[in-house]
Structure formats: structure tokens, C-alpha cells
Amino acid sequence: LDVDAASLERGLARVRGAFDAAVAKGRTTRAEADAKLARLRAGTALADAAGSDLAIEAVFESLDLKRRVFGELDGVLGADALLATNTSYLDVDAIAAGSARPANVLGLHFFSPANVMKLVEVVRARATSPAALATGVAFARRLGKMPVVVGNA
């Protein structure tokens, strides 16, 4: 998701470019890259995220904005969906306070550039459930990343 069509198209162009580079370097085949791109859904409204099992917000480092996004996602996502923040320094517990489902909130801090860097901090907030934490770790591994569980500090 992005805030407007132009921003969304720039983001999609970067994703396509990353896949093109992976094909050029022999890290994947064109068919595999095209299959992954075909599964990509994009939009400019939070409602476009409906049906997702996991949402990772990556908005500006503003506590108020992140809390507002989490509150809005609560109204769009199913009750079991996880909410993750990509914050690098804000208090995940304070962000979770914007959600009606704090047990399903955690941090997934991807280092930049996220498509290259392997490390992902999986941040356990005060109310993060063991199932949510395990899902965050499994998700990072599925992406080929190295998850490291850390506390909210």
C-alpha cells in the first residue's frame, strides 16, 4: 500500500527492478520472478489489505501516525491477523496501544535495503503472544532472512 498512485507505481517499479536484477545475476529465473510478481497485490487504500494475515507498517517514524495506522488496520484485517511495525527506534508497546489486539502486535525491523540485508529484528512487545512471536520468526525465515528475537528497548 502507498498513499497515492504515483508513489505506489514508484514502489512497484523498484520491486520489478529488484526482480530484474536477481534474474540478471542468476539468483532466480524469469519464470520464478514473474510468478512472484503475479502474486503481488497493490493499492492505495487500507481496505486493499483486507484478507491479509500480516500487515507490516513502514510509515514515517511518528508514534501518532503508527498508532493511527494500527487502529485503522484493526477495522480492515481479520481478528487473527498480525500487525507488525518496522520501526527502528520507537516503543513497540506504545505503538501497540493504537490497536485493539496488542497480543497480535510485534516489531519486524528489516535493515535497509530490505531486499538485500539478511537480518530482521523480531521485537517482542509486552503483550505479544507466543504464537505471534513464532509467526514473526517463521515469516522472516520464509523470506530467507535471519530473525533475531529482541526485547522492546
Catalytic residue positions? 109
Q: CB neighbours of 9 closer than 8 A, spacing ≥ 6? A: none
Cβ 55 vs Cβ 81: under 8 Å: yes
Reported as half-sphere exposure (CB side, CA atoms, 13 A), residue 79 has a value of 0
Task: Give the separation between CA 41 and CA 75, rounded to whole angstroms.
Answer: 19
Q: Which three cell numbers stand for residue 7?
A: 508513489
Give the other-Cβ count within 10 Å of 31's Cβ.
9
